[in-house]
Amino acid sequence: MFCICMIFIGSAQAQARTEFSYEKNAFIKYNDCLGIYPGASLALKEKVWIFSLGLSPIIGEVVHVIPAAKAQKKLDALGVNRVSQDKPLWAEIGCAHSFRGDMPEDLARVTPESEDSGIGFAIRGLPARAWIAEGRGDSVYMGAKDNPYVELVRHLVTDACYVPDSLVRVKKFPIRKERTIVQLDIGRVKKLSPDERRLKIEEEMRSTEGIYAKWAWPKYKKEKLEELEKKGYVESVEICRFFLDEKRVVKAEKISRRTGEDERVDTAPDLNTENWADTTTDAIGFVSLNEGKDWDVLIVDVGWEGINYSIERLDGSVVHYDRSLYTYH
């Protein structure tokens, strides 16, 4: 099954003020391919801002545009294997493989190619007064005690997610004029009991042993066991997540996670003290259309069955763009 579902919710007042529409100028990106839907268009050699999961925003260029039906027909006739081995041909029609199923009207390919993740957005025609947060939001793990970021939100944090040994993760997205948007995660974790931890390690050891030849396993067994013994296994975590524009709290939300409990269809986390804050939903970029007064956040929510893309006001007051790409088929 593979289908595209789309909803557009906008603020007429905001669009009139900024004279910019995400609906006409934002495109979901998957494997360096863009989907172009009714009401929007892209031309060859147009410049776009490219926002990708885990990467800094860059300016890219449209290098191929083709009607989706034409690309799909040609791909079906030649076969994916043959087309994928022909680089120019793949650049021309290969996007039909990424968006196979319920197609958009047209497909486009952008360069430069993504270094890692091909999941994200392309945005065309941002106004000159727009600001874009830079950086890829690298994670920095910190302690809760004497943490300057925690102090900024301490009055908003409940005991559900805060204790002196709570885990803290900070993601920084630099803005011009030395401003920074910060995603702050504060997590109160419940670790596995000693017996549960022992059983978990035994289970992982059995699973790992199965991928090694008998002669190789004894040598690797000790290294693997030492690695697992250092791991902080987590049963559950209560997270207070904040977004700050400098010292101003723009958004606050609470998230509950539990090992083995589905967060999206067939997406069950195996939590530890390193990945406890890695939810399926990621803020991958921030855009301000009014020189930093308000911020729009670009969000991808990646699950096994598909990807949800949305652009919304960071404070949650407006959803500009919402689209889902179902990759389960």
**What is the mean predicted confidence (pLDDT) over 258-274?**
91
Q: Which of 312, 260, 250, 244 is nearest to 281 (CA)?
A: 312
Q: Which of 17, 109, 114 is nearest to 61 (CA)?
A: 109
CA 21 to chain centre: 22
DSSP-derived secondary structure for 183-215? EEEEEEEEEPPHHHHHHHHHHHHHHHHTTS-TT
Tens digits of residue pLDDT in 221-263: 999 999 999 999 999 999 999 999 989 999 999 999 999 999 9
Strands (E), 91-198: 106-111, 120-124, 131-132, 139-143, 167-174, 180-191
Alpha carbon distance 329, 93 (integer Å): 20
Confidence of residue 33 (pLDDT cuts 50, 70, 90): very high
Question: In the prediction, which pLDDT does 143 show?
Answer: 86
Contact predicate 267/35, CB 8 Å: no
Residue whose tokens read 């993601």: 171
Alpha carbon distance 166, 80 (integer Å): 49
Q: Looking at 93-97, 176-180, 306-310, 325-329, which range is the least confident one? A: 325-329
**What is the mean predicted confidence (pLDDT) over 114-141?**
90
Peptide bond into 112 cis (omega under 30): yes
Question: In the prediction, which pLDDT does 328 show?
Answer: 58
Alpha carbon distance 196, 95 (integer Å): 46
**Both structure tokens of 133:** 């947060």
pLDDT of residue 9 exceeding 70: no
**What is the mean predicted confidence (pLDDT) over 12-17?**
42
Question: In the prediction, which pLDDT does 91 show?
Answer: 92
**Both structure tokens of 2:** 């593979």
Confidence of residue 181 (pLDDT cuts 50, 70, 90): very high
Q: Please tell me the pTM assigned to this model.
A: 0.86
> Which of 113-117, 241-245, 314-318 has the largest mean confidence?
241-245
Q: What percent of the chain has pLDDT over 70?
A: 93
Residue whose tokens read 């890219």: 60
Question: In the prediction, which pLDDT does 102 show?
Answer: 65
Tens digits of residue pLDDT in 275-300: 999 999 999 999 999 999 999 999 99
Helices (H), 112-193: 148-153
* Contacts with 66 (C-beta within 8 Å, 6 or more apart), sequence order: 92, 93, 95, 106, 107, 108
